[in-house]
Structure 1
Amino acid sequence: MEAAPAVQRSTHQSVEKGRSRHKISRDVETDITYLYEVLPQLSQIFRIIDKIGEGTFSSVYLAEAQMTDGSRRMFALKHLIPTSHPVRIAAELQCLTVAGGTENVMGVTYCFRKEHHVVIVMPYMEHQTFVDVVGSLSFEDVKHYIFHLLKALRHIHKFGIIHRDIKPTNFLFNQQRREYSLVDFGLAQGTHDTQIELLKGLLSKPKREEVIPRKIVSSKHRSVPVRTPLNQRQKTPAESQKPKPPAVSPMLTCNCYMTDRVCNICLSRKQQVAPRAGTPGFRAPEVLTKCPNQGTAIDMWSAGVILLSLLSGRYPFFKANDDLIALTQIMTIRGSKETIEAAKTFGKSIVCSRELPRLDLRILCETLRGLRSWDDSSLPAEFQASRNPAEVKLDAGSPAKKHMSSGSFKSSAELQEMGWDKVPDDVYDLLDKLLDLNPATRITASMALQHPLFKDMTD
């Protein structure tokens, strides 16, 4: 971590002049005033200009510091909420200091603390909002974006860091300069061999309980109850000598099994405790089904969802607050049979009352981007629309309803100019490997960077 920025002492007068030059809302001005009050030393160094981000656990501010050589430098100040656990804060700082500052991973400049208020100072990177550019990127832009995201993931995974919240807003992107930076390690966990000492105490230890087999009723009364076998462990020699209890089937069935309702027996079962961090729409199948053993593969799934948005021009692609609805949406794309088989590999059992075919990813993305006709018979009803792709019409109960933004539709000439008429099969092969439903066989970041798609790019 660098020393605190060597700056000339700011005055409240200069701060007020700065605010007058940069219009901010009254609420933001109140937040800035509060930040100065709880951490007075900030006013001696920084002129806080605006609030540029706000999440569940922190707020991020844009600030300027005048250096002793007379130059001015911009910083991002991340104010962690006072209720954040000290170990969690320290672990995030350690991730930034050990793995940050290189390979497209954000570093840390300094950290301020007074009582339970903590502000992490980081270099500010000017960037575009993903939702504003996702539909206007050329294929070459997309290729560079995913390449640099994979470089950042390879780097942090090398240290045994599972980011757990990979999404576009956490991967800053400057389109003109082609600069990238992975940020926000507030939810990070460590692998069993992590090099981040403080993450070792954050390894998940879920309880040995069962999952409530709930059901989703979506378009055409589709129901997807998720069931799991009873958690089992190897018996010790002493336990093996005890009288054996009556045999119990590893799969608990009941009166609502394979129907469109949920019985009281199922509702009364306890929820399994397992890591569930992340943002809806980017959670991997093993997260949605509460698999207790989660690794760096969950970050790779999230990268696959980002690539799916980039290729289709639709963001967000998946959007569901309920984990099982999210699982239904994944089945709509990847197929129900494939999802069921993959779940078995990590100890989960999924039941779907209707078979959902696996979609061709190229046809799906090209149709959504406007390169194919919307009446393509290879697409399921959930994706049918009028011939004008800007007027998407989906059934009200469809899991795809409003889960994909309309995007920025381009003319055929514009799409050709942006290279979307010559997208190689390699990118869809990589997408398929990133969205592998089985975390054990899902491609790693190191393997992905060796993919033929990137053969002409220097690592």
Structure 2
Amino acid sequence: MEAAPTGQRSSHQSVEKGRSRHKIPRDVETDIAYLYEVLPQLSRIFRIIDKIGEGTFSTVYLAEAQMTDGSRRMFALKHLIPTSHPVRIAAELQCLTVAGGTENVMGVTYCFRKEHHVVIVMPYMEHQTFVDIVGSLSFEDVKHYIFHLLKALRHIHKFGIIHRDIKPTNFLFNQQRREYSLVDFGLAQGTPDTQIELLKGLLLKTKREEVIPRKIVSSKHRSVPVRTPLNQKPKAPAVSPMLTCNCFMTDRVCNICLSRKQQVAPRAGTPGFRAPEVLTKCPNQGTAIDMWSAGVILLSLLSGRYPFFKASDDLIALTQIMTIRGSRETKEAAKTFGKSIVCSRELPRLDLRILCETLRGLRSWDDASLPAEFQASRNPAEVKQDAGSPARKRMSSGSLRSIAELQEMGWDKAPDDVYDLLDKLLDLNPATRITASMALQHPLFKDMTV
């Protein structure tokens, strides 16, 4: 614990200055006291300052420690929920230990355990919240951001690690220093040739009855999975599958479709960032799912719209993807991984440059025939009136800028290369989707050191 990995240390003064501006809420004080109680050894080393993150499986705290040389450093303490499986916890630690500390991947400094309580200690990296800066980044900032995310993905994929939860909050970014760090391997899985021993027991396995191709019936352009076990022959339905629900040819998904028994397949990750093969419950998922998530992040960075996709369930999420990538293309890609999609309405594939430039404010809405889903961002003046509305949260802060400001930020000179890379990251077919190694060789990065 004598040193944090190079490039991942935070500014102690700026962190402390920011924390001193507000009083810690009473509930956070209670949580900190509880953490000291269940892991008393922490109090001998750390002064826990604040809670800085909370998720389904863990809570993250900011803490200060005095080093042996007399200096003080900041650390992130990740307290895993007591119900986490021991193998899952050990696998996350092994990922951090083997692959972390280099190539924009967070390392681990120490680990404390008492009974079923585990705290992973990591260097703290001061960073900005993605939603606060997504519309204010210059094109060069975006180029560097995606480049360093791809470097982190290439590194972990080399070890056979599938992160499975790539999203902006798991890729820390310090805009001033251009520092980056991929965090949170709590959902990581292993590829068949993974070098992480503990991930070998967490390979993406599926049951025998889940490997047969499924039919996916569409309601207008909503998609519904229909399950057929491998160990029994498909039976001819008494009624055509197209007529077994109440929502076909309508703009909604009915309760019959939503209540269908779902097939089992890995679907970890965050809504809005799940790849098509995850949404359609394809049993064979690999590192390509991380690349899709990187593509969604780049889509937000180029359009200034975050989150770009936000759906309440997998069916609507697939619909949103089809709206961007086209229904015919989605159906063809689905066939390659054993799925069949029926769509009653043809959805054209959108030009990614026109889409992003319109949402960012570089093009007139009159010049772009975009679907109704994007009209919420059309009138900045109306959105400004209600800053707390869902529309405002989905609104591009970049689109509120003037053309002159956008030009000064280099957005009028964004090359075709960046949209070509975006297209390759958002390839609907995981078999042909660009890999991290290939992406780093893309012409967009010809002036950058890989």
TM category, shorter: 0.7 to 0.9
Kindly indicate whether the alpha-carbon contact (under 8 Å) linking 1:79 and 1:118 is maintained by their aligned counterparts in 2.
yes
Tell me, yes or no, if the aligned pair for 2:217 and 2:241 is still in contact at 8 Å.
no
CA 109–11 in structure 1, closer or farther in 2 if over 3 Å, else same:
closer
**Aligned CA distance change for structure 1 residues 171 and 10 (closer, same or farther; 3 Å):** closer
* 1:408–1:217 distance in 2 versus 1, CA, 3 Å: farther
Q: CA contact under 8 A between 1:75 and 1:122: conserved in structure 2?
A: yes
Residue pair 1:226, 1:350 contacting (<8 A) in 2 also: no
Correspondence for 1:75: 75
Deviation (angstroms), 1:270: 3.3
Contact kept, 8 Å, 1:164 with 1:278, in 2: the verdict is yes
How far 1:350 sits from its partner (Å)?
1.1
Secondary structure at 2:243's aligned position in 1? coil
Greater alpha carbon shift after TM alignment, 365-374 vs 8-17: 8-17
Deviation at 1:388, TM superposition (A): 3.7
Pairwise CA distance, 1:204? 2.6
- Cα shift at 1:20: 8.0
Quote the residue 1:3 is aligned against.
3
Deviation at 1:8, TM superposition (A): 23
What CA deviation, in whole Å up to 9, does each residue of 1:282-319 have, x standing for no partner? 00000000000000000000000000000000100000
Look up the match of 1:43. Answer: 43
336-345 vs 383-392, which moves further: 383-392
Shift in alpha-carbon separation, 1:206–1:17, aligned structure 2, 3 A:
same
Greater alpha carbon shift after TM alignment, 387-396 vs 264-273 = 387-396
Determine the C-alpha separation between the residues in 1 that align with 2:120 and 2:151. Answer: 24
Cα distance between partner residues in 2 of 1:352 and 1:10? 51
Task: Give, in whole Å, the separation in 1 of the partners of 2:284 and 2:187.
Answer: 16
- Residues 362-414 of structure 1 show CA distances to partners (whole Å, capped at 9, x for unaligned) of 00000000000012243233334686445479999999997555656211111
- After superposition, give the CA deviation of every residue in 1:42-96 in whole Å (9 maximum; x if it has no partner): 0000000000000000000000001122110100000000000000000000000
2:212 corresponds to 1:221 = no
Greater shift in the superposed pair: 244-253 or 74-83: 244-253
Alpha-carbon distance in 2 for matches of 1:79, 1:250: 48
Contact 2:111–2:120, Cα closer than 8 Å, also in 1 = yes
Separation in structure 2 between the aligned mates of residue 99 and residue 313 of structure 1, nearest angstrom = 31
Q: Secondary structure at the match of 2:437?
A: helix
Which of residues 319, 338, 341 is equivalent to 1:347? 338
1:408 to 1:370, Cα distance in 2 relative to 1, 3 A: closer
SS in 1 for 2:92: helix
Q: Is the 8 A contact 1:374 1:385 kept in 2?
A: no
Distance 1:214 1:119, change over 3 A: same
Pairwise CA distance, 1:207: 2.6
2:218 touches 2:342 (CA, 8 Å); kept in 1?
A: no
TM-score under structure 1 normalisation?
0.85
1:8 aligned counterpart, secondary structure: coil
The structure-2 alpha-carbon separation of the partners of 1:208 and 1:268, relative to structure 1 and needing over 3 Å to count, comes to farther
Shift of 1:17: 15
SS in 1 for 2:210: coil
- Structure with the largest fraction of helix: 2
TM-score under structure 2 length normalisation:
0.86
Helix, strand or coil at the partner of 2:268: coil
Of stretches 247-256 and 108-117 in structure 1, the one that deviates more from structure 2 is 247-256
Q: Which structure has the bigger radius of gyration?
A: 1
**Does structure 2 conserve the Cα–Cα contact (< 8 Å) formed by 1:87 and 1:198?**
yes
Structure 1 counterpart SS, 2:383: coil
Report the CA distance between 1:352 and its aligned residue: 1.5
Query: Cα deviations across residues 155-209 of structure 1 (Å, max 9, x unaligned)?
Result: 0000000000000000000000000000000000000000000001011322344
The 8 Å contact of residues 151 and 445 in structure 1, kept in 2 or not, is answered as yes
Paired residues of 1:218 and 1:397 also in contact (CA < 8 A): no
Q: In the superposition, relative to structure 1, how do residues 82 and 457 fare at CA in structure 2: closer, same or farther (>3 Å)?
A: same
Contact 2:303 2:396 in 1 (8 A): no
The separation in 2 between residues aligned to 1:314 and 1:219, in whole angstroms, is 27
Task: Indicate how the Cα distance of structure 1 residues 381 and 259 shifts in structure 2: closer, same or farther if over 3 A, else same.
Answer: closer
Contact 1:48/1:62 (<8 A) preserved: yes
Instruction: Decide whether the 8 Å contact of 2:217 with 2:342 is kept in 1.
Output: no
Do the aligned partners of residues 67 and 265 (structure 1) sit closer, same or farther apart at CA in structure 2, a change above 3 Å counting? closer
Of stretches 346-355 and 152-161 in structure 1, the one that deviates more from structure 2 is: 346-355
In 1, are the aligned partners of 2:146 and 2:298 still within 8 Å (CA)? yes
Question: How much identity, in percent, do the aligned residues show?
Answer: 94
Q: CA deviation at 1:331?
A: 0.5
CA distance 1:57–1:397, change in 2 (3 Å) = closer
**CA pair 322-451 structure 1, distance change in 2 beyond 3 A:** same
Cα separation, partners in 2 of 1:251 and 1:272, compared to 1, 3 Å? farther
Q: 1:199 and 1:32 mapped to 2: Cα distance?
A: 31
**Which segment is superposed worse, 392-401 or 408-417?**
392-401
Q: Is the contact made by 2:222 and 2:318 (CA closer than 8 Å) also made in structure 1?
A: no
Change in 2 beyond 3 A, CA 1:164/1:394: farther
Asked if 2 retains the 8 angstrom alpha-carbon contact of 1:213 and 1:226, the reply is no
Superposition RMSD on alpha carbons, in Å?
Answer: 5.4
- String of CA shifts for 1:105-125, please: whole Å, max 9, x gaps: 000000000000000000000
Q: Tell me if the contact between 1:173 and 1:180 (Cα under 8 Å) persists in the aligned partners.
A: yes
Q: Structure 2 vs 1, CA of residues 457 and 207 (structure 1 numbering), >3 Å: closer, same or farther?
A: same
Shift of the 61–323 alpha-carbon distance from structure 1 to 2, 3 Å rule, reads same
Deviation at 1:13, TM superposition (A): 21
Q: Deviations over 1:120-177 (max 9, x none)?
A: 0000000000000000000000000000000000000000000000000000000000
Cα deviation 1:409-443 (Å, max 9, x = unaligned): 21111111100010000000000000000000000
Contact 2:156 2:162 in 1 (8 A): yes
* Partner Cα separation in structure 1 for residue 11 and residue 406 of structure 2: 52
Q: Residues 353 and 371 of structure 1: is their aligned pair in 2 closer, same or farther, counting only changes over 3 Å?
A: same
Q: 1:348 to 1:245 in 2, by over 3 A?
A: closer
Once residues 342 and 175 of structure 1 are traced to their aligned partners in structure 2, the CA distance between those partners, rounded to angstroms, is: 37
User: 2:298 & 2:437 partners in 1: Cα distance?
Assistant: 17
Aligned counterparts of 2:371 and 2:426: Cα–Cα separation in 1: 19
Q: Does 1:369 align with 2:365?
A: no
3-state secondary structure, aligned to 2:64: strand
Deviates more, 1:140-149 or 1:270-279: 270-279
